[in-house]
Structure 1
Amino acid sequence: MTQALPPRSHLHRLTAPEAFWWSTGIEDTFITAPHPVTGRTLDEYELTGHYDRWHGDLGLVAELAVPCARYGVPWHRIQPTATTWDWTFPDETLERLLDLGVDPQVDLVHYGLPAWIEGAFLHPDYPKLVSDYAARLAERFRGRITWYTPLNEPRITGWYCGRLGWWPPFRRSWPGFVALMLAIAKGMVETVKALESVDPEIVPYFVDATDLFDTDDPAFEDEARRRQDIVFLALDLVSGRIDERHSLWDWLLKNGAREADLAYFLDNAVALPVIGMNLYPMFTQKKLLRDAGGRFRIRMPYAGADLITRLGRLYYERYGAPLMISETASMGSLRRRLDWLDASVAATRQLREDGIPLVGYTWWPMFALVTWAYRQGNRPVTEHLAQMGLWDIVPDEADPLRRVRTSGVDIYRRLVQGGAESVGRLSQVPSRAAAAL
């Protein structure tokens, strides 16, 4: 069995000229609550057949020759009731990755929770429940798996659960969003504490969606700035950056946060050893425009690769930590996807030439995903496939979820085999990144 090198040791080499972490992943959104009208849930592993095909799918990961891969584990299956644990799936899949020589970057929570946690993230015991689950998993792989994402995209989780009301606990207000963000962030802090108590070599890998808000309308400049500050809210909370001087302090108190809630994060701040940026050319750019009634609306234009250079500089200036592109892909034709791969790798190279420690790149998802609209719709899974991967899912009579290899596999594999040379060596080790290690 291959034993993964402990990434705490890797952290001291993250900004070395020869270091770069190519990665991939399989979409792992887990929304276990049935839609009130359609009755559908949204478990991507089930919908794409991964629960049955995991052995072969993980073989595709190895085919790319990546040294690591983001991989989610389904908490709702591991702990189907408050007192029942079933470790079969993570034991089999994570061991398979390790046997293949791929370091798992484990996604502990990807939007959804076990249905028995009433109130979801607002359950009063949620921080304890999630940290206990994390510690139990870490103990099973102590010394062999040391990359863990406490919770993928906390802001998007807070938005869909607290502001839009699509997912449990179905809040639909800014106070709902704030309540969710505080609970989610506290769960992340307690998870990090629990992981590090099991194994001090564990690397918390903080992954969030990285929207960029812009406007050409002076009337909406303040709103654009506030929305941009909200993009950083989760990381600012967990790293203890929000006090009376923070731009969102008054806004948070206005929307239901208590000073005691915010003091918890100042007293329990955790380090950000590496930050993952999830970004997509079709989703990440947000433009505030005036609608017919004079109010603002948000448009998402397809962005160029300067998206990456802008975000990289913005995040490094704010946090001074090594960065990874933890998710990126384009959607649609293979030509469009490969054009984005070329452009985004070039932007990665530019940031590294500028001395920004962008030390990893993840093409996500590895194969097609099922769009979130499936849960509230009535069309079959095959009509909700978003082709974003290096493999397509192309149904036929024999196999409705057939994985079809594209030329992107060989192109990405060549990039991976080139290591850091594919993106250029980091020009220097910036002092802020070195201090973060």
Structure 2
Amino acid sequence: MAKNFLSHIKKKFGDSGYEGDEFGGAAGHNGNGLPTGNPGNFMFATGIECSYPTIDHGKTRRDLLAETDHYNRYKEDLGLVKEMGLKVLRYNLPYYQIQKAPGKYDWDFADAAMKEIKRLGITPILDLMHFGVPDWIGNFQNPELPVHFAEYAGAVAKRYPWVRFYTPVNEVYVTARASARDGIWNEQLKSDRAFITAMKHCAAASIMGNHQIAKHRPDCVIVQSESAEYIHEMRTVESDETRISNKLRFLSLDLLYAHPLDAEVLLFCLDNGMTREELKWFMAGEPPGYQIMGNDYYGRNERIIKPNGDWCSAEDVLGWYTMTRQYYERYRKPVMHTETNTFKAEDAECWLWKQWVNVTRIRKDGVPVLGFTWYSLLDQIDWDISLAEKRGTINPCGLFDLDRKIRPVGESYKMMLQEFGQITMVPHGELFEITSRPAELKVEV
């Protein structure tokens, strides 16, 4: 009786453990293990919550870096990032403290923190403006903001030439809405005209800051973090207010990426103070650098409005997958999941894995997702009321609590890193070059 092929293989090469199998096949590597630091690694990240808007009509500054004691414990906090096995950190230098006046800066804390980040081998995604401005600028109604901020962004890029990843202005849409339409922060206005004014000033600041960064780092990577939101109105006829709100969520990225505006949004902008000249300026072309579209998603980003006007959270009706697909199909940019958490500590582990399922599913469906972020490293304070009052309520949403003790979600994130940490940004990413060339080829993904 003739031997089967396995018999011949066994006779020649043995049962298993074939030579070369350590590089693939049955005994090969599959992406398990912590990130190696290779630039092609998928970017698993966390962030240190750093919001600093003013409330009480400018009388009170909410600085979460101070309220969570990060200024005193920054070395300990950065050490926790390293201990987690994370290589990437969304990190903010407190803009309102650093730029004292045009051309005048206080770099003391920034230098100390950046030195430690560099020493630990962490890759920062440097967030330059997070919901607030220096007192001398005033607020987001100031038309000089783009000029002053651009100078600041250039100064940061010049001072830390080793930094490549930046978020010039965090969540432009949320900044403008909370400050000028919802009346919560900073100028605390509640008008469409004030909203459009804040929107164009923040978007222009981001663009001009981006230019100054690229002047010093032509190969800069811009991770434009923006909130992915949607309102589900449970009425047979959708109201004008809900319809325009669901369209306005795209406005900041439309302006940043020079994407033609929806007709209704265009009229809304023109009716509320944006000039044709300003619009033409925004539509001239997208800013320099490699652009990554960061989508922030919390279950509370989706809301259901009932027929009587009451609302409730619509957590996961669309979810990060569907929302991000909408944004990706509009802008065709590589994607990063730049923020997520839940305020219910008992739900956090499940929420973490649900978000990761969204990421892996959308990657399998062809959308290039390059990174994932649990935000934030530490518990937050008063974000359940959007920082509107200084109550001191601790939101247990961190990987660590404010005593710097790891939470179950932190342990779960460690597990995720051990399992998926060495996957690449795109499948078989080792084949592709992570270039240091300037981003001169502007082509759709």
Pick the TM interval, shorter chain: 0.7 to 0.9
Contact conserved, 2:46 with 2:90, CA < 8 A, in 1? yes
| Aligned amino acid, residue 212 of structure 1 | Y
Task: Provide, for residues 294-331 of structure 1, a one-character-per-residue CA deviation record: whole Å limited to 9, x for no partner.
Answer: xx554323336x50110121111111111111000111
Inter-partner Cα distance in structure 2 for 1:78 and 1:159: 25
TM-score, with normalisation over the residues of structure 1?
A: 0.84
Pick one of 396, 399, 418 that aligns with 1:387.
396
Alignment counterpart, residue 90 of structure 1, candidates 105, 110, 120? 110
- Measure how far apart 1:189 and its partner are: 1.0
Q: Report the counterpart of residue 435 of structure 1 in structure 2.
A: 443
Residue in 2 that maps onto 1:238: 256
Q: State the Cα distance separating 1:220 from its structure 2 match.
A: 1.0
Q: Name 1:324's counterpart in structure 2.
A: 336
Give the one of 369, 376, 385 matched to 1:358.
Answer: 369
Is structure 2 residue 67 aligned with structure 1 residue 47? yes
User: In the aligned structure 2, how far is the partner of 1:320 from the partner of 1:36?
Assistant: 39
**Distance apart, 1:187 and its partner CA:** 0.8
Aligned length: 397
**Structure 1 residue 124: deviation in Å?**
2.6
Instruction: Tell me how far apart the structure 1 counterparts of residues 86 and 444 of structure 2 sit (CA, whole Å).
Output: 25
The match for 1:4 is: none
**SS of equivalent residue, structure 1 residue 248:** helix
* Cα distance in 1, alignment partners of residues 426 and 285 from structure 2: 36
**Could you list the runs of 5+ residues in structure 1 that have no partner in the other structure?**
1-6, 14-18, 394-401
Q: Is residue 158 of structure 2 the alignment partner of residue 139 of structure 1? A: yes
Distance 1:158 1:203, change over 3 A: same
Aligned 8 A contact 1:121 1:184 in 2: yes
How far 1:418 sits from its partner (Å)? 3.4
Task: Name the counterpart of 2:312.
Answer: 299
3-state SS of the aligned residue for 1:218?
coil
CA change 1:420–1:247 in 2 (3 A) is farther
Worse-matched range after superposition: 178-187 or 410-419: 410-419
The CA deviation at 1:223 is: 4.4
Is 1:122 the counterpart of 2:141 in the alignment? yes
| Distance in 1 between residues matched to 2:203 and 2:386, nearest whole Å | 28
* Per-residue deviation, 1:376: 5.1
Letter in 2 for 1:159: R
Which deviations, in whole Å up to 9, do the C-alpha atoms of 1:358-379 show, x marking residues without a partner?
1210000111011144965464
Larger radius of gyration between Structure 1 and Structure 2: 2
- In structure 2, runs of 5+ residues without a counterpart are 1-36, 432-440
Match of 2:417 in 1: 416
Give the CA deviation at 1:352: 1.0
CA RMSD of aligned residues (A): 2.7
Cα distance in structure 2, aligned partners of 1:410 and 1:216 = 39
Change (3 A) 1:352 1:371: same
**What SS does structure 2 have at the residue aligned with 1:251?**
helix
1:199 counterpart letter in structure 2: R
What CA distance in whole angstroms lies between the structure 2 residues aligned with 1:329 and 1:284?
11
Specify the SS of the correspondent of 2:65.
helix
Alignment of 1:139-218 (within 5 A): 139-142=158-161, 144-218=162-236
Q: What does residue 321 of structure 2 align with?
A: 309
Corresponding position of 1:371: 382
Output the TM-score relative to the length of structure 2.
0.82
Q: 2: CA distance between counterparts of 1:320 and 1:179? A: 27
